Structure formats: structure tokens, C-alpha cells
Amino acid sequence: MKKKDRSNGPEAEWIVEESTELLNFLFKMMPSRSRKAVKKVLGRGQVVVNKEATTQFNESLQPGDRVQIHSHGTNYKAQMTGIKILYEDDVMIVIDKEAGLLSIASEKERHMTAYRQLTEYVQRIHAKNRIFVVHRLDRDTSGVMLFAKSKKIQQSLQNAWHEVVPERAYIALVEGTVKKDDTITSWLTEDKTLTMRSSPRPNKGQKAVTHYTVLKSNRDLSLLQVNLETGRKNQIRVHMKDLGHPVVGDKKYGSRSNVIGRLGLHAHSIAFTHPVTGETLRFESKIPTSFTRKF
């Protein structure tokens, strides 16, 4: 097996001389790197076999196959559906989720979810790797989500959520003209149909507080920035119904129109204190153009 270095091309290149599996081949050809480091190179999509990037550790190699190592992976990230990874380190992943993709499995859909795809992604580096949901977005809500790579990190974020997450902003496209900024407070309960109900009576259900600012408005629609003081199920959708301005496309909570062909709710930004480094990180997802073209 001969190694070939190139200044303008792959970092390394070999021609396979005997049948083997890819990961075993890489261990043999990269003796100066730890097994963990080799697995990361493979998991990041930096390995190309016969001009096709792969992350399959058990891919069969035959004599004559060409194996290359590239400095930048073509990457399994690009192959995921409805997900863009905004940030990743040893303990967490931040993604931008498209509308229509489930955060986690449901009775009807268990495979095409953000959780399932990210699990497959991290397990390409090591089969025992796992991810943990820190918070969820509704299927039809797009935007920024956090995932942890261990139960410990998940719990450290969830247990101190209000202290470590100073900013969590949504953009909501709602029906009608909202004239002023305000705050909505109510108590939410869930009925047998899994619909959230809102009550002004204190201590009946979970307290929910939503702050909103009017960004744009016309006679038909308003674009709001919504900041959550609490994070209850369907909170923004229920509170916009309470306001008399349901989220566009939200038939469940009173919408009468769907002028953008999707739910008008987007998780725009989140800032949080990193659970290990203590650094404050902030991530933002661009407001969908369908939300703004009506103004």
C-alpha cells in the first residue's frame, strides 16, 4: 500500500492492496494518530473512497480501491434532511431545524426526526455515542434547537434553564393588526385531545408568560418578536389565540388562513452559558423570507 502526498488535493492517498474493512485500513495506514482521532476523521466525512465520501467504518475495501483523506470533510452533515448544524463541540450540538421536521419520534413517525438523524450522525464517530434533547420545537416550527451529548449536560442545562438561557426569541407571523407591545400571562392545562387550554385564574395549570414586540404590521398581518419567560407546550400559539391574533397557519389554535403554506412560527435566536466553559454563546437563525414578503 503506497501513500501519496499532494500539495493541491487530499492530505493523503492510498491504493488498497488486499481486502479489508475501511476502519481497520485507516488504523493501519495512520499509525501516528490515536484510534479516537482516526474515528473522528472518518465521522467528519474526510475519508473518500473511489471519489465518494463515506463515514461507514465497516465499508468493504477491495484491491485497487483508492482511499483519500481530505482536510475538510464533504460531511454527513450535508446529507441530513431538514437540519443544519450551527455549532458542535464535545458536549453539545446546536442546529437549525426546518419546518415540517419532528424534533423527536411520534407514533406515526419514528425515523425522520432531528433526534434520529443526529443520533446516527454522532454514532458514525463511535457506536456508543448518544444525544439528548434539551428542549423541543413543534414539528411545524423552524429554527434553533439545542442537543446535549450526555445525560449530565442535558440535566445541567434543563435544571438551571432560566439562569443559563438569558435569551430565547421567536418570530411569529400572526393574523390581523397588533398595535402595541405587551406581555401575556396565563395558566395552561392540556385536555384529552392534547390541546392546550389557557386560563386567567392563578395556579390553575402551569404559569406561562410571553412578552412580544411588534416589528411590522399592516391591515392583514403582524410580525412579532416573542420572548419567552416560561417555556410551556404550545405557549406562543395559545397566547396568540388569547390575544385575538392567532399564528398564521395554526388551525388548531384559531387561524383562518395560511398565506405562507406553513406555521408562522420560527425560533429565531438563543443565548446560553456553556455548561463546561462558562462562555456565553449566541446563535441565530435567519427569519424565513415567507414571513417578511407580505410587508
Over residues 138-148, the pLDDT tens digits come to 999 999 999 99
Kindly state the percentage of the chain with pLDDT values over 70.
Answer: 92
Domain assignment of residue 104, given as a range? 81-159
Q: Please, which pLDDT band fits residue 123 given cuts at 50, 70 and 90?
A: confident
Residue 5 lies inside a defined structural domain of this protein: no
Domain CATH for 239: 3.30.2350.10
132, part of any domain = yes
What is the per-residue pLDDT across 222-265, written as a single tens digit (0 to 9) for each?
A: 999 999 998 899 999 999 999 999 999 999 999 998 999 999 99
Specify whether 232 is located in the same domain as 285: yes
Residues 132 and 180 in one domain: no
Contacts 24+ apart (CB under 8 A), 151-157: 153/91, 153/92, 153/275, 153/276, 156/275, 157/272, 157/275
Q: Has residue 137 got a pLDDT over 90? A: yes
In percent, how much of the chain has pLDDT > 90?
68
What's the CA gap between 202 and 187, in Å, rounded?
7
Amino acid 126 reads: H
DSSP states of 123-147: HTT-TT---EESS---TT-EEEEEE
Choose one of 102, 131, 159: the last residue of a domain: 159
Does 271 fall in a domain?
A: yes
Can you give the pTM of this predicted structure?
Answer: 0.74
As annotated, the active-site residues are: 138
Sheet holding 47-49, edge to edge: 12-15, 66-69, 47-49, 52-54
Supply the pLDDT for residue 56: 73
CA–CA dist 291, 138 (Å, integer): 17
Q: What is the CATH number of the domain that holds 23?
A: 3.10.290.10
How many structural domains are present in the chain?
3
| 2 — pLDDT class (breaks 50, 70, 90) | very low
* pLDDT band, residue 3 (cuts 50/70/90): very low
Could you give the dihedral angle defined by the CA atoms of residues 125, 160, 273 and 264, in that order, rounded to the nearest 10 degrees?
A: 80
pLDDT attached to residue 73: 57
Please indicate, yes or no, if residue 272 is contained in any of the structural domains.
yes
Rg of the chain over Cα atoms, rounded to whole angstroms, equals 23
